[in-house]
Structure 1
Amino acid sequence: MAKIRGPHLSTPLTLLGSDRDALLRSDPEILSPGEDARYLVSRAGAVALREEEDGTLHALLETEDPRGGTLQPLVLLGRRDGYRVLGVEIPEPSAELDAPGRDLRDLRRVADRLHDHDADLAAAAVAMGFWHRSMRHCPQCGATLVAEMGGWVLRCSEDGVEQFPRTDPAVIMAVRDGQDRLLLARNAHFPSRFHSVLAGFVEPGESLENAVAREVAEEVGITVEEVEYMGSQPWPFPRSLMLGYRAWAPGGTELTLQDEEIAEARWFTREELAAALEAEEIALPGSASMGRALIDDWYGRSAER
């Protein structure tokens, strides 16, 4: 993994442990069965894992093709210890495809327990599984799509147009005011106690920094004057890339909440946040998320420790 200069937030899904071997995707035999093939099963955001006695989770790499004679597509996820790791997205539970002992866990819920070596494999398996599940037909003509390049390209069987996996960039920002208070908000669609930092998708033709400023202005009505990039995290639910920022709004701090989007928002000192957590007035994102990493960065340690 390349060294990262400057401030950076590490989360379980930012880690890199495998060689994706992208240059071998063009090999027509790269997805063929063989003694060097291992299979990682996913289903609708869940991935096959095995649990150690200490609670740590590892990718469950199976030696037998789990497709049971079906035509589920394979994806070359990379190499691990000399083995080709092939991702397989299987459909809803069935006696034909569900192997005894296979433990499928919702990646969103268990990412913080993944071994560092397996985080990238699990994230790629889930993201590519979502893509293959949703992209069955050409969006231009409706013809069948055929997988190529180790499962990373889908080609239209009629006109040859190629479709590539889609990633949606989203900014997520810890906004501070002139008193170094942190802004936390509850989305109208979140559970009643759940608070987090602000976030939103980047629009076409927009820079990341402008997206930070626009989202803050739209959601809470304040002006961001400075932003600092902190790191990124794949969030394959189904296909986001979270780009984390510190942001400062030292001017006016009176909040104007966006109708039907933000249910509540307020500024917190560190003492106020600790008291709100102790009283169970609010709940924070899980430790696997970029939102929680940004909150902990401001707090100076784990906010819920």
Structure 2
Amino acid sequence: MRDPWSRPDPLIVERATELRDSVDLDTATAIIVSEGRLLASAGRLVELPPEEHPAASLRIYLGREVDRDLVAIVPSDPSFAEGYDGIGGERLVGLRDLLQPFTGHGPEGMRDRELGATAVALEAWHASHRYCARCGAETEPAKAGWVRRCPADGREHYPRVDPAIIVAITDAEDRLLLAHAAHWSPKRFSILAGYVEPGETFEQAVHREVREEAGISLTEVTYAGSQPWPFPASVMVGFTARTTADTLHIDGEEITEARLVSREEIVALVADGELVLAPHGSIARRLIESWFGGPLADRVPDERIDV
């Protein structure tokens, strides 16, 4: 199943890295990002012409689209959001809240996903990497927001991305393994996931995480797709796998409950409100629905879920 969060295609907006040293960000069309939220209306990003740019604490070059440049602006005025509190349908919205609208807007949603995910990830990186890890001096933005440079030693610091795996596991009866993490609200279930550790491949991370959290071994580990997940800096690398195990041994710490469910059971559990699945637009939801064979209806609106 295809969605705008897991695509093998080239980027829709050309990042034009060769322009990062020379582009005039004051003349670009802007989207607004503030504390991980994006200015949006009716499920689409709001774009501001140069004359409507707010005063900025940070500008990040997002790329070139046909004959115009695009920039993400972090407003310097913390009260900026008050001017867009639902007026004209425009308001600051969390990226997670835009997952489903982005999914439903075809190519426009795919484009907005690229721009929004990039803006949110880079804003978070700048906020958490103000100081040089080597000498402790305060760093400053460079290369149109894609680098932080240390004025003391000249070192350049680049945005980090943390790889994580996520895997849809089925057993000999083609039942899907769903698990509940300790920090989630009750009835919230998804497939297993975890961060890749130094010195291991993605596939080895799949085997290790599943062994640690569910106590089972896997076969047929197969790549299924990837998804940027800027909360704050991850990329989810998706897999499918099989297990011959008939007993789960959950760790009781990270994972407090797990179950193997058939297609009939997952429909009934969701309908009864006993199961809340990952949100639409997430790779977790895509892998679950790929196993299911089509869309799964929700009994209640999607809750936020970190996977």
Q: Scaled by the length of structure 2, what TM-score is found?
A: 0.87
2:301 alignment partner in structure 1: none
Alpha-carbon displacement from aligned partner over 1:41-69 (angstroms, at most 9, x marks no partner) = 11122111122xxxxx222111236442x
**Partners of 1:116 and 1:257 in 2: how far apart?**
37
2:37 alignment partner in structure 1: 46
1:281 pairs with one of 263, 268, 274? 274
**Partners of 1:245 and 1:176 in 2: how far apart?**
11
Q: Percent of aligned pairs with the same residue?
A: 38
1:11 alignment partner in structure 2: 3
**Partners of 1:91 and 1:192 in 2: how far apart?**
39
Contact 1:89 1:133 in 2 (8 A): no
3-state DSSP of counterpart to 1:189: coil
Paired residue total: 284
- How big is the shift at 1:155? 0.7
**Partners of 1:281 and 1:93 in 2: how far apart?**
40
Matches of residues 57-206 of structure 1 in structure 2 within 5 Å?
57-63=43-49, 64=51, 66-68=53-55, 72-90=57-75, 93-94=78-79, 99-100=83-84, 101=87, 102-114=90-102, 115-206=109-200
3-state DSSP of counterpart to 1:192: coil
Matching of residue 290 in structure 1 with residue 278 in structure 2: no
Structure with greater proportional helix content: 2
Matching of residue 220 in structure 1 with residue 244 in structure 2: no
3-state DSSP of counterpart to 2:296: coil
1:54 alignment partner in structure 2: none
Contact 2:36 2:95 in 1 (8 A): yes
**Partners of 2:221 and 2:76 in 1: how far apart?**
42
**Partners of 1:174 and 1:152 in 2: how far apart?**
34
The Cα RMSD (Å) is: 1.8
Contact 1:40 1:61 in 2 (8 A): yes
Q: Which amino acid aligns with 1:86?
A: V
Alpha-carbon displacement from aligned partner over 1:121-147 (angstroms, at most 9, x marks no partner) = 111111111111212111222212121
Contact 1:31 1:150 in 2 (8 A): no
Contact 2:5 2:283 in 1 (8 A): no
**Is 58-67 or 124-133 further displaced after alignment?**
58-67
Name structure 2 gaps, 5 residues minimum.
103-108, 299-307
- How big is the shift at 1:229? 0.5
Q: Which amino acid aligns with 1:229?
A: Y
Matching of residue 245 in structure 1 with residue 239 in structure 2: yes
**Partners of 1:104 and 1:23 in 2: how far apart?**
31
1:234 pairs with one of 223, 228, 231? 228
